[in-house]
Amino acid sequence: MRLETVTTECAMQKLARFLGSSPAEKVAYVRRRSKLLSGTDLSLIADETILDNLVVVEDRMRQFVQQFEQVQSAITPGLVLEDYVVSMINEFVNVAVVAGIESILQALEPVDTVSPLPDSELITAIDTLFESRDYLRERLELMYSLIKNPTLVSEVIYTDLNTCNRVFVPLTDGEGKNSDDLYGLAFLWFMGVDLCMLINEACMIANSAYTPKVSGFSHEFYLYIVLHELSHLWVEADDLAYHFTADQEAKDFDVYSMANLKASDMNNADNYCTLIFIALAKLHKQGFIDLRRY
């Protein structure tokens, strides 16, 4: 897969085009999207059923388009991620995250087929964060297949604090009181765009205050947030529990800590991210990857 950056304006134009397309075009889009993301064939699902299920989704999309149109003159136009950030994210996902997932899948193999034996600390992390190894394997294999799909694109909307406050915060249903609290969002229900997420300027500001736990991994916090949002897009992970408590500041975060995370919350985004980051730190320590590149 590859990640590309789009402006808020471009994303909203794509939503508006989808909203204005014909019912047949909408149905065809949803069928393609389902096949691409989960391999689910919707050919036996009636067109009317698909359109009925889109009603709530389209209403939400329409709210964002209308909000954008109301405040467009007051936001910063043309905002996109810098090229080096897009390149870094792409390499991190397609190289480092792939290696991390591979190491976890290897650790999940029966002991008599693995050489050398899986790291005991990684196994402990797996069992601390996921009560079912089979479920974890299934989810990671789906993540892996999506990352390795060269036709899959994830679009990243970048905002400054002003744009985030005016366009996105009013419609996030309390997910953030203001843009300082909102590092990123995944838009599972945005139709007409490729997999889409938002990364707010506040994320990089927080990253600058954060001390990496792996020395030299300068975007450690930032990339944790990116992976968190991607896990929503890849496997529709939820937010049943958060890695960080509300009273923590960015400088106090530890992306490798398993505190506040429970094995019973197996589809929680932070459970996936923390486990992958633990695997990455071990690969870095063993010299298989160099997190200082990121």
What residue ranges do the domains of the chain occupy? 2-81+144-293
HSE-up of 193 (CA within 13 Å, CB side)?
Answer: 30
What distances in angstroms separate CA 172 from CA 164, 175, 176, 232, one per listed residue?
10, 5, 7, 15
**Nearest Cα to Cα of residue 202 among 257, 260, 163:** 163
Q: CA torsion 34→36→41→42, rounded to 10°?
A: 30
**Nearest Cα to Cα of residue 292 among 207, 219, 200:** 219
Dig out the tokens for 104 from the structure: 């976890």
C-alpha to C-alpha distance for 103 and 92, rounded to whole angstroms:
15
- Looking at residue 97, the DSSP 8-state letter turns out to be I
User: pLDDT by residue (tens digit) across 3-28?
Assistant: 999 999 999 999 999 999 999 999 99
SS3 state at 182: coil
pLDDT at residue 59 in the model: 96
Taking a C-beta distance cutoff of 8 angstroms, is the pair 3, 83 a contact? no
C-alpha to C-alpha distance for 55 and 70, rounded to whole angstroms:
22
HSE-up of 95 (CA within 13 Å, CB side)?
Answer: 13
Residue 247 has pLDDT above 70, yes or no: no
Taking a C-beta distance cutoff of 8 angstroms, is the pair 237, 267 a contact? yes
174-178: long-range contacts at Cβ-Cβ below 8 A with a sequence spacing of 24 or more?
none
With bands split at pLDDT 50, 70 and 90, how would you rate the model's confidence at 250?
Answer: confident
pLDDT at residue 251 in the model: 77
Residue 226 has pLDDT above 90, yes or no: yes
Query: In the predicted model, what is the mean pLDDT of the chain?
Result: 92
pLDDT at residue 159 in the model: 95
> Of residues 127 and 240, which shows the higher confidence score?
127
pLDDT at residue 119 in the model: 75
pLDDT at residue 181 in the model: 76
**Nearest Cα to Cα of residue 168 among 154, 151, 153, 183:** 183
Burial 205-232 (b: 16+ CB within 10 A, else e): ebbeebebebeebbbbbbbbbbbbbbbb
> Of residues 113 and 126, which shows the higher confidence score?
126
C-alpha to C-alpha distance for 219 and 208, rounded to whole angstroms:
8
Of 57-66, 177-186, 202-211, 270-279, least confident by mean pLDDT is 177-186
Radius of gyration of the chain (CA): 19
